[in-house]
Structure 1
Amino acid sequence: MSLPSSSTTTPAERGQCQAIDLIQKIHRIDDYWQPRVVAEMNDYQFKVVKVHGEFQWHVHAETDETFIVLEGELHIHHRASLSDEGVIVLRAGQMAVVPKGVEHRPSAQAEVKMLLVEPRGVVNTGDGAPGVRTVENDQWI
């Protein structure tokens, strides 16, 4: 059972005991930086998203965030302070975990398709004020 991307209702099966075609799900997303839930495990959600361009700097004070690149090349700029900045470069088949409390900004020069793993209820733009790219939680596709 698949629900429209605008739904905030959790499917009864939560994406369990079934094969999920991640790329097919991503093709159903219209815009960049609009993560959609495809499955849940305990209190964690698996979200697919396609991205292009730069996201905003943000931090998740209470949780780590996992990025798994399916197609393309993602850059995750991160900083523990203004004088301590680095970048993680991920290509298809690679993943990285950004620890809680680390400010970061994903970017992609071309379209990237990826899977995010994070606890239910995490706001994609982090702990700051909501912005133009803030997405409502629990949108299933």
Structure 2
Amino acid sequence: MSEAVNLAEKFATFSDHWAPRLVASYNGNDVRVVKVEGEFVWHTHDDTDDFFLVIDGVLDIELRDRTVTLGPGELYVVPRGVEHRPVARHGEVRMINIEPGGTHNLGEGSPQRPVVAA
């Protein structure tokens, strides 16, 4: 990277939800910014953990046995193979996901959406 990444500027480049944007890569991992609102589908990632870091808003990560609620500055890692569903019940949430490069960003059994650069 030749320049610092300004997250506010990256978030300002798009308005669609559940469509991650690639902002950096390191050691084979992709750092993605994403805006979410409403419910997503139940899904799993069989080969990788799922990293969520909330920048703005409140995100519920529903697991089959409990719900983990994240506010700004909080993160949670869903272990590989654990079925989960992210939900933004109270308006838009801006967050960062970090996953191995090339990871199907929506989990097994969910609709494929390409990850594009912000």
Moved more, 21-30 or 88-97: 21-30
Asked whether the 8 Å contact 1:69–1:92 carries over to 2, the reply is yes
Q: TM-score, normalised by structure 2?
A: 0.93
Identity %: 42
Q: Do residues 112 (structure 1) and 89 (structure 2) align?
A: no
Unaligned runs of 5+ in 2: none
Aligned residues: 117
Match of 2:117 in 1: 140
Asked whether the 8 Å contact 1:52–1:108 carries over to 2, the reply is yes
What does 1:68-79 align with in structure 2 at a 5 Å threshold? 68-79=53-64
Quote how far apart the aligned CAs of 1:17 are: 4.3
Unaligned runs of 5+ in 1: 1-15, 80-84
CA distance in 2, matches of 1:125, 1:39: 19
Amino acid in structure 2 at the alignment position of 1:71: D
**Match among 72, 78, 103 for residue 83 of structure 2:** 103
Amino acid in structure 1 at the alignment position of 2:101: R
Quote how far apart the aligned CAs of 1:42 are: 1.1
Q: Which portions of structure 1, spanning 4 or more consecutive aligned residues, are displaced by more than 3 angstroms?
A: none
Amino acid in structure 2 at the alignment position of 1:68: L
**Match among 38, 42, 60 for residue 57 of structure 1:** 42
Amino acid in structure 2 at the alignment position of 1:122: T
CA distance in 1, matches of 2:8, 2:97: 13
